Structure 1
């Protein structure tokens, strides 16, 4: 059994781990680490890897899965709305880049056909690096991020025409018009097949898979679907990545998108990392050592000219200079598909010898500095002054969820919480793993999504960074623990409330980061003793007081371990036992129609009203002349037992 290739993969991964660790320590972006690892492993470094071509083939999976995930995050409806920046912006960017490099090459003594080909090579940007960095920096939804994505989509579409044109520049082509016509027909055919699949086949297929409720089956089905569509486009001469992007679009607006995305993310990260390593392997360190000035000069020229061309394309779409600067720097590197195009140029005589090595070395340098260019973009744009006008927002930029409630699980408990949130005017987002429930409730207009809340990416899509509260009401205790841990790691300020079955599960959930844990066992005991007291004809008011006291005592006990140590140090003995409660003034109560002064709440009852909410209008520190009316929500600060004892003042007689 030949283990040589496996040995090389292990060496690559081991080298990547070491280099990535060093990069993390000195603050370098991950992409740079992978490129350096490739240089060290490749023929130009320590020559640890012999099967470079096989590594490149495996690494191509990274680009495929990256485009698949981007397609799911974008959605087909957004792509339709992005058609102007995709086609106009992309066409202007590629046209300007080719024109600039043609002029520079002819001035440098190259033939016009070579200059055009150099423009082809430079016109393409790195989809893998740009999208990975924009995702890492959470800038994919920014104006320059959306414009960059639109132009990258057009570049992917332009790869095939550029590859068809290249042999003609080298004088080895056939009938150009016929070739382009056939390719256009194939493209239309692929789009037609994709539309039919998206409308009739894909929903039924994934519904059948989701009903099994097996993670493994769903993941395998997702991978097979992605690769099948990618192979379909590749079979007609289009790129694998374009097919993967179309596969993502087909799933993007279905209820399966989040679950599909969460499954492929680990694979995407591993294979994308291998792709960057494979790019680094192309570099000949000896050539750079002998020609450092030439290589750096070429890399600088590429960055400047590409930034100008991409920035000009963004401005052609009506965006301000600041957005154009940021967008131009995002796309200022040479793309991965340029290496594929370069091989075609080698075969046709447009690129040879030292010129090819100069292209490889300068291209990898532009890729390596991309994270810093993306970081520099907004800073440089901000120095230009002035805020971006309203029309400079990216097309259909998603409105970020803010101050909302995340409900995990939509059984009877989750439905009651959603109903209460709806009545209170609180925005909410539901995550549910039962596909039948998701489909049924979506038809009713519920904001419900199919996804596992134990995955960070699913929680990010639910807007966890802007959420105020997350409620977990599921029956699986181990899943609840994973969800609490993932949510707390992403959002330290989030309030997490969990329903669990038994009292014994409370302590671990609190330790993982839950703020409140409501055990069904405890609530059931309260319901039982309530019914017993009713049978003994105990007055309702007394029963309610017992319930308040029981819940107050037990939940105070349960919450104590969750208090952070710093918070405990800040709590003085004078505040121990104090609480803030919201009490509603009912019609006909002692307070209804009386002023704060007339009620003697503080003097006789020990209750301090710090605020009153009346129909959404908040009055802070109300004066003594403030007159209560039915429906007011009073924020009362006092000892917990006083709040329980005096709650009757707010209730109807």
Structure 2
């Protein structure tokens, strides 16, 4: 017996594995691999897949799971922290792109409805590609990373109304206003029902499911909620995608949202692959090759249009030109939700087959260019800035911007022998507070407007700007600084800052915070004096506490930690660490331990007995050092003292004997 679709699934997944393996070697995104798989295996390629309609059904399931996870991740609390960037940045980017696209489309002769729809499509960027690229480069916390995330969040939200409006643009529902009114009524009813479920039904249901401790039941419940809500919205004439998004919103505020995301993610990854494969199957390779030059011209036009809009958007958010350009080279592509929207537009007659094929080709080309332009965005932005603005003009603009932000430069003395802090996040703020207490003169450079304003309100001396610009570094008298601390999370920007800094000063002591140990060698070669990797510092802090628990003397622990740092953490990095450890650094770990023992109700073997009568000393050779009772510590322990319920005993003894005590008390 042959299972339906089995051959197609095997072909799609098997061919995807081969193509994606090849793409990984040349650093192309896996989404492009799925698109190429569809182009090769589809009816316009080798015609290996016959049941294309069934594959499209699988792709619809992928879209449901994708929007479901978007809904889960759309936390109202987290969104409120970046609401200005999301609302203002997203609105300007999406609205500006739509308006410019309408203008260009009208010049090309497209009707108004189709022009608006093309604006919808081009305004959307690829959440999957951009977030994966930023994470791989370690730039999620960088200014361009935060801005990109905020704009992508707005795009992911606005795509739902776009899906609802698309049939109305096509005039499928007759009276536009009546259709909008009817749709609003349905929407309100569904939202009301889902609110009742989210408030009174879902929390109780999930709690009962979780209490069963059955992972299978939890996954089944989440999947049913997702598909059932999608079916509900579809049954009243709204979209499946909208229902999936609402289902995610229901779970997003619950305490089980993270586990729900983890449970659904494998389903999403599998089914979304069929979506991209189905899109690739729709591309006509003959049309693509026949109109290659024209399509390349349109692709360049889309890139320039989105680059212009994103750059203006980021500048309106009061970020420097360099950050605006880098963000533009991150968000210029057409995204996966545009593919979903385009199929809806094609079904409703908003796109002709030729326009649809052109859109598919342009979208795939922009996606293919994303890794190349994204990886070189810093260098391209620097080249553009140097070509556009001379150093003198940039210096005047920076001074004007800082005066507008409230820094009275003339009133403050010139900085000499000072500390420069680059990045005013958690680490930078802590360094500044410590420097202030120690009366060390300092100045911090920060690129995020909100962080900058908050720092100024707290009374810190800050300069707004990008430290990767030599004008900013000269503005804070980097050539007169004693120490420079670079505490940002963008590896590429860090390297550029060090290179520029060493052209200004050779005497400043440069301390760099980095996330990964693999980045240390490159940073040291560029001129940093010290590099502090979070990976190994965390390991040292953990092992320090381990040694402390093993009663290793404090001076030996400190000597051990200092030795590791002095050798640039090579002892932790080396696979032969135990053999390379110098003899004078060997740690003698005593065979004793201090442990705590809570006295719980029902522990009849110890409750109500005296210290002597408990047998802790006579039977196990354990010494009671202290007792905590009712938030009071008793340190003068007498043999006839009675042990009471809820006491906390502090015991000293051999680890094996401590374990025996624990076993003795547990086994009633």
State TM-score, norm by structure 1: 0.58
Instruction: For 1:348 and 1:212, locate their aligned partners in 2 and report how far apart those are by CA, in whole Å.
Output: 47
- Give 1:55-134 correspondences, 5 Å limit: 55-80=55-80, 84-131=84-131, 133-134=133-134
From 151, 162, 168, the counterpart of 1:159: 162
2:65 is paired with a residue of what secondary structure? helix
Offset at residue 366 of structure 1 (A): 2.0
Alpha-carbon distance in structure 2 between the residues aligned to 1:219 and 1:12: 26
1:90, CA displacement in angstroms? 3.8
Contact residue 113 and residue 170 of structure 2 kept, 8 A: no
The aligned counterpart of 2:21 is 21
In structure 2, the partner of 1:272 is 272
The separation in 2 between residues aligned to 1:206 and 1:325, in whole angstroms, is 45
Q: Is 1:181 aligned to residue 184 of structure 2?
A: no
Question: Does the 8 A contact of 2:125 with 2:336 survive in 1?
Answer: yes
- Offset of residue 31 of structure 1: 1.9
Show the counterpart of 1:257: 257
Structure 1: which 5+ residue stretches go unaligned? 397-464, 467-489, 499-512, 524-543, 546-561, 584-653
1:220 aligns with 2:220: yes
Q: Distance in 2 between matches of 1:52 and 1:278?
A: 7
CA distance in 2 between counterparts of 1:80 and 1:236 reads 31
Q: Can you give the 5+ residue segments of structure 2 that lack an aligned partner in the other structure?
A: 386-393, 399-444, 455-514, 517-533, 553-571, 594-668
> Which residue of structure 2 lines up, in the alignment, with residue 7 of structure 1?
7
1:440 counterpart residue number: none
Does the 8 Å CA contact 1:87/1:154 hold for their aligned counterparts? no
> Which residue of structure 2 lines up, in the alignment, with residue 367 of structure 1?
367
Partner of 1:41: 41
CA contact (8 A) 1:117 1:350 kept: yes
Where do 1:185-584 residues align within 5 Å? 185-343=185-343, 345-346=345-346, 350-377=350-377, 380=380, 389-392=447-450, 495=539, 565-577=575-587
Corresponding residue number in structure 2 for 1:143: 146
What is the RMSD of the two structures over their aligned residues, measured on CA atoms?
A: 4.1
Per-residue deviation at 1:43? 1.5
- How many pairs were matched up? 435
Whether contact under 8 Å (1:147, 1:327) holds in the other structure is no
Q: Give the secondary-structure state (helix, strand or coil) at the position aligned to 2:364.
A: helix
Distance 1:357 1:395, change over 3 A: farther
Alpha-carbon deviations, 1:265-299, whole Å to 9, x = none? 22222222222222221211111222210111122
- The CA deviation at 1:304 is 1.9
> For the residues of structure 1 that align with 2:184 and 2:326, how far apart are their CA atoms?
34
Do 2:148 and 2:331's aligned partners in 1 also have CA atoms closer than 8 Å?
no
Task: Tell me the distance in 2 between the aligned counterparts of 1:275 and 1:261.
Answer: 20
Per-residue deviation at 1:377? 4.5
Contact 1:144–1:323 under 8 Å retained in 2: no
C-alpha distance in 2, partners of 1:298/1:258? Answer: 41
Question: What residue in structure 1 maps to residue 413 of structure 2?
Answer: none
The Cα offsets for residues 30-67 of structure 1, whole Å up to 9 and x where unpaired, read as 22222221211111211111222221221233333233
Q: Note if contact 1:284-1:357 (Cα within 8 Å) is conserved in structure 2.
A: yes
Deviations 1:437-471 (A, max 9, x none): xxxxxxxxxxxxxxxxxxxxxxxxxxxx89xxxxx
Cα distance in 2 for residues equivalent to 1:177 and 1:9: 44
Secondary structure (helix, strand or coil) at the match of 1:368 reads: helix
Judge conservation of contact 1:147–1:314 (CA < 8 Å) in 2: no
